[in-house]
Structure 1
């Protein structure tokens, strides 16, 4: 009799199948509530990062415009004076206006008022303006995870009826408009 009592006590120490199912159902309900909250937080962080990146790039473009009376990329960035190479710098390589090369040179390198660029200020400070961004690359669009700059627009107005291959950014060198190249959820209107 004593043996059968100890066997019964050992059998009663575990959980029943119903109790386990209730716990699993409660966990599933909690997961269904919590997971969407994390997903929307991630989307909110991406949108916030997009707004910050756009603000930084637009500020750099506006400052360049203020100091040069033209938007970056609107003029060629190559050429210049020997003072650049004398000071150990490298001249910009944007030999054609309205190109990504000229745009990046003029934002990332030192420049003169004519838009000519150099990686150094020059021996006599011939390139006194800039740089406006830290690296010679456009930051990634946090929504599309791309830093591709669509072919330049010179129309004065950017429209986004279709997404450009690569889906990073769009820029108009006449108006200075810089937008996200993404038609989803109106990100191009930020």
Structure 2
């Protein structure tokens, strides 16, 4: 009978106490709170880099269009049609921040890109991206 008592005592001592489990859960919670925001920042940084890269490519193709056609493509009237028909682009470029390929004259929600022509109030001409909040993407 003495052997049976020793065996039962050893089995009971092998488990974790409630306090030990709670300590491990708290430590895992603290680690998760520190690590998760860093991953979300990395995803935002990757999207920003993708937009910058796409802007550079699109601006280069617009410059090529200008050189070969002696003028700008009509981006606000027909979207990307001039660029696609002229084989400067294969398809409508989607903005990674808004998932939209729409081109407009000013930044707004649901718009992917902004094309600005020179005017009396606007001295800069070019293509700009729209950020997720509907404002112009700052490079």
Q: Could you say whether these structures have the same fold, taking a TM-score greater than 0.5 normalized by the shorter chain as the test?
A: yes
Residue by residue over 1:123-159, the C-alpha shift from the partner in whole angstroms, topping out at 9 and shown as x without a partner, is xxxxxxxx21122x2x111111211222xx4xxxxxx
Choose between structure 1 and 2 for higher RCO, CA contacts under 8 A separated by at least 6 residues. Answer: 1
Structure-2 residue corresponding to 1:168: 112
Instruction: Extract unaligned runs of 5+ from structure 2.
Output: 119-123
- Distance in structure 2 (CA, Å) of the matches to 1:169 and 1:144: 9
Structure-1 residue corresponding to 2:17: 16
Residue by residue over 1:86-134, the C-alpha shift from the partner in whole angstroms, topping out at 9 and shown as x without a partner, is xxxxxxxxxxxx512xx53321123xxxxxxxxxxxxxxxxxxxx2112
- DSSP-derived class of the 1:14 partner: coil
Instruction: Extract unaligned runs of 5+ from structure 1.
Output: 75-97, 111-130, 154-159
- Distance in structure 2 (CA, Å) of the matches to 1:164 and 1:184: 8
Structure-1 residue corresponding to 2:8: 7
- Distance in structure 2 (CA, Å) of the matches to 1:10 and 1:147: 65
Deviation (angstroms), 1:28: 1.0
**What is the TM-score normalised by the length of structure 2?**
0.82
- Distance in structure 1 (CA, Å) of the matches to 2:82 and 2:99: 24
User: Does 2:53 correspond to 1:52?
Assistant: yes
Residue by residue over 1:51-93, the C-alpha shift from the partner in whole angstroms, topping out at 9 and shown as x without a partner, is 011111111111111122210118xxxxxxxxxxxxxxxxxxx
Structure-1 residue corresponding to 2:85: 109
Q: Note closer, same or farther for the CA distance 1:57–1:70 as it changes in structure 2 (3 Å cut).
A: same
- DSSP-derived class of the 1:25 partner: helix
RMSD: 2.4
- Distance in structure 1 (CA, Å) of the matches to 2:7 and 2:132: 70
Structure-1 residue corresponding to 2:72: 71
**What is the TM-score normalised by the length of structure 1?**
0.62
Residue by residue over 1:25-53, the C-alpha shift from the partner in whole angstroms, topping out at 9 and shown as x without a partner, is 11111111111111011000100001011
Q: How many residues align?
A: 133
Given that 1:61 and 1:176 are in contact with CA atoms closer than 8 Å, whether structure 2 keeps it comes out as: no
